[in-house]
A and B are shown apart, each in its own frame.
Chain A
Amino acid sequence: MAKVSINNVRKFYGALEVIHGVSVEIENGEFVVLVGPSGCGKSTLLRMIAGLEAISDGTISVDGQVVNDVAPKERDIAMVFQNYALYPHMTVRENMGFSLKLRGSSKSEINAAVDKAAAILGLGPLLERVPRDLSGGQRQRVAMGRAIVRDPKVFLFDEPLSNLDAKLRVQMRTEVKDLHQRLSSTTVYVTHDQIEAMTMADKIVVMHDGIVEQVGAPLELYDRPKNMFVAGFLGSPAMNFIHGTYRAGDRPMLELADGQLVPIRPQASVADGTTVVLGIRPEDVVIDPQDGLSVRVSVIEPTGAETYMVARHGDAEIVCVLRERVVLNPGDTIRLSLASTSAHLFDVTTQLRLT
């Protein structure tokens, strides 16, 4: 149980700056997900919270106490690693009790804590086994158990599910979330998978190239992304971006490079003639034979519940998720409406969302 404040933190490796002044407030009991593409600095930031990487500049504090120069073991945090990092020569019980043993707890205390954590995670029958006799999912659960046993102020997860197969990942996702709801402990979770971020987080921190792009609740980020990076990163399939010029009027239009005019939703604050990028999510694109954008269908991908359609207009590729079953073939020409009220306009140069 703790509040973590990351205040203008920077990280240099020699002259190379990998984190450029990041500030994030993590409230007591909150589940915060750091998400971003590989190399965006999210794992480095997590390791700095854990104390495994030195902080070049700025401060990290836990419950108001600055921990920059505090050794990892005194920070009272627990970390779950991507590769589980279980001690191969110890049984599950020894693995889970190791931190308490180092702390000098008595045997009975350790056993009680381990049994309690094992009960929470359903590890009871595995306690006397060694890690190499466990499956991937079981190892991951032991790694989580090792963290729970300590009852730490903060849980840190470093891409814990990325070594599991797809089905198990979904199952463990629910387990982690469920665990957090039961323990309601402050949690920082790093992932590159935006679906994990969307489904698990109370608060998402989107990082890119060592800076924080946007912080907010999952749906807030999804519905009102601050810029094109956040808009494109969250959501699958990714948001479509269409370049054009804004034409104001009674019926606002987007003028495409080839001169075609497509109706879009009114944007009061955007001046007539501004060059913009229209961002529209695949599920907001609908087929509209009246006056939509004329495109040529190139790929149809039925997934069962819905159908993904990839269509091309000039160089632009537009992905569209259709809920109804439609009879379309590659090569067909159809019209797509981009007038959804959920569509956004972005500035071409700053990439920020307009309005």
Chain B
Amino acid sequence: MTDVTSTIRPAVGQASRKPGVTFVRLLYVYAVLFIVASIVLIPLVTTALGGFKTLGDLRTNPFGLPDMWQWQNYGDILFSERYWRMLWNSLFISVFTVVLTLAVAGMAAFTLAHIRFFGSGYLLNYFLLGLMFPVATAILPLFIRIRDLGLLDNPWGVILPQVAFGLGMSILLMRNFFRNVPQELFDAAFVDGCSYIRFFWSVTLPLSRPIIATVGIVAFVQSWNNYIIPLILLTSESNYPWPLGIMSYRGEYGTDWQLILAFITLTILPTIIVFFAAQKHIIAGLTAGAVKG
């Protein structure tokens, strides 16, 4: 999203300076923007509107406005205890996944970026190997390990594997960012009396807001939408996060699609809110001024 806006601004600016190409260029820019926005928005709007329809209406008129606005679909979900419990479960799992991922990956990335020790290269590659493993291939050993740890049907049994699978990418992203913190800052802090841990806390982390936001959002969204790990490792419905909740609208002989759409609309809302809230923190160029700028 940030990319789209940043490429558009100069284009519009140039266009206003050269009157000859103004209209064509503007038309082109808006056409492209319109297409991109449609690809994102049409499914979202269809889903949200679908939640207001009856099943029959949905079958005959999937894209238009509802014949009769069925506020009850949303009302039933919002007033059910089940929805709020699943939302709470999802939130609990996602928040702790994000916190743990950031803490563990941040410290590992800092070490791998700044401290040279025997085998640091191998260790990094070992973490990166994890990028090549799809979760599905590891699901059986994972199940056995979690069972042995006694964490089956426990939110932590979902949080820990999610953190583990997210580490490879997070360490890679954060390490590359940390390596760009100027070496002289490190020297200056050392002479000032900083320890490694203090430098990490007082200098690296405040300078790394963009990457922390990025890694945090990726971890949050992945955890929020994760289906397979909770499906395998959680057994009682009171522990289910929301993706598993959808299943209960699938009957043996039919599926209440309008309820599923309403449920999805209500559950992706928090992710969208989180994304917009965190986006403000993705500010590039925070390091400008550290070294001659």
Contacts and interface: CB of A to CB of B under 8 A. Distances in A.
A85 B190 CA distance: 12
A99 B193 contact: yes
Contact of A52 (B182, B191, B203): B191
Nearest to A78: B191
Contact of A84 (B189, B190, B192, B291): B291
Contacts of A85: 182, 184-185, 187-188, 290-291
A132 B191 contact: no
B286 A102 contact: no
Question: What DSSP secondary structure best describes chain B's contact surface?
Answer: helix
A78 B191 CA distance: 6
Interface string B260-293: 0000000000000000000000000011111111
Task: Give the contact-size bracket for chain B.
Answer: 20 to 34
A85 B199 CA distance: 14
A73 B191 contact: yes
Contacts of A99: 192-193
Contact of B290 (A52, A82, A87): A87
Contact of A72 (B190, B203, B206, B207): B190
B74 to A, nearest CB: 44
A299 interface: no
Which has the most chain A C-beta neighbours within 10 Å: B182, B184, B188, B193? B188
B55 interface: no
Given A130-B289, A132-B293, A136-B292, A83 B190 contact: no
Contacts of B289: 86, 88, 130-134, 139
Given A102-B194, A103-B193, A136-B292, A88 B287 contact: yes
Contact of B188 (A47, A79, A133): A79
B191 A77 contact: yes
A87 B291 CA distance: 9
Nearest to B288: A132
A8 interface: no
A163 interface: yes
Contact of B288 (A50, A72, A88, A146): A88
B288 A89 contact: no
Given A85-B184, A85-B185, A132-B289, 11 more contacts: A50-B187, A73-B190, A73-B192, A83-B182, A85-B182, A86-B188, A86-B290, A87-B188, A102-B192, A139-B289, A146-B188
When A and B form their complex, which 10 residue pairs have the shortest distance between CB atoms, in order from nearest? A132-B289, A73-B193, A85-B188, A99-B192, A85-B184, A88-B290, A83-B291, A131-B289, A102-B193, A89-B206
Interface of A: 47, 50-52, 72-73, 77-79, 81-89, 98-99, 102-103, 130-134, 136, 139, 146, 150, 163
17 contacts: A52-B190, A73-B192, A73-B194, A79-B188, A81-B188, A83-B292, A86-B289, A87-B185, A87-B189, A87-B203, A89-B206, A98-B202, A99-B192, A102-B198, A131-B290, A132-B288, A134-B289
Interface of B: 182, 184-185, 187-194, 198, 202-203, 206-207, 286-293
